[in-house]
Amino acid sequence: MAVARGELGYVDAIHNGTGAVLLVRTGDVTVLRFENVAITHAPDGHAYLSRETGGKWSESASVYLGPLKATNGSVNYTVPADVELSLYTGVIVWCRQFSVLVTWADLR
């Protein structure tokens, strides 16, 4: 069951994404699902849950989910069981190599 949903957003002409992100809970497992997305290529993209919205990001206010698995299509990231989901209101794709926001989504 989807507990939150958002749409990937536009940062600029070379950093953006389209498609849905969903937090899906099945029993005791929660996954962040990128569904039918298209994300501009970043050489070192990583996915995070964030306590901030609007594409704002800080490492101290986020949960690292892993390296970006794909830039097109659908992929899942398992959310650690100890994460209090109600505290996290955003999804961030961050390029570590260039320290730049690639795309983001606010969760509702």
| Tally of structural domains, the chain | 1
Q: How confident is the model at residue 48 (pLDDT cuts 50, 70, 90)?
A: very high
- Average confidence (pLDDT) over 73-92: 97
Range of the domain at 89: 2-106
Average pLDDT of the residues in 34-48: 95
Q: What's the pLDDT score for residue 57?
A: 85
The encoded tokens of residue 76 equal 């899942």
Instruction: Please provide the size of the chain in residues.
Output: 108
Band (41; pLDDT cuts 50, 70, 90)? confident
Share of the chain above pLDDT 90, in %: 93
Per-residue pLDDT, 30: 97
Which pLDDT value is given to residue 83? 96
Q: Residue 24 belongs to a domain with what CATH number?
A: 2.60.40
Name the residue with higher pLDDT: 59 or 95. Answer: 95
Q: How far is CA 23 from the centre of its chain?
A: 10
Q: What count of other Cβ atoms lies within 10 Å of the Cβ of residue 11?
A: 17
Task: State mean pLDDT over 44-64.
Answer: 94
Amino acid at 82: D
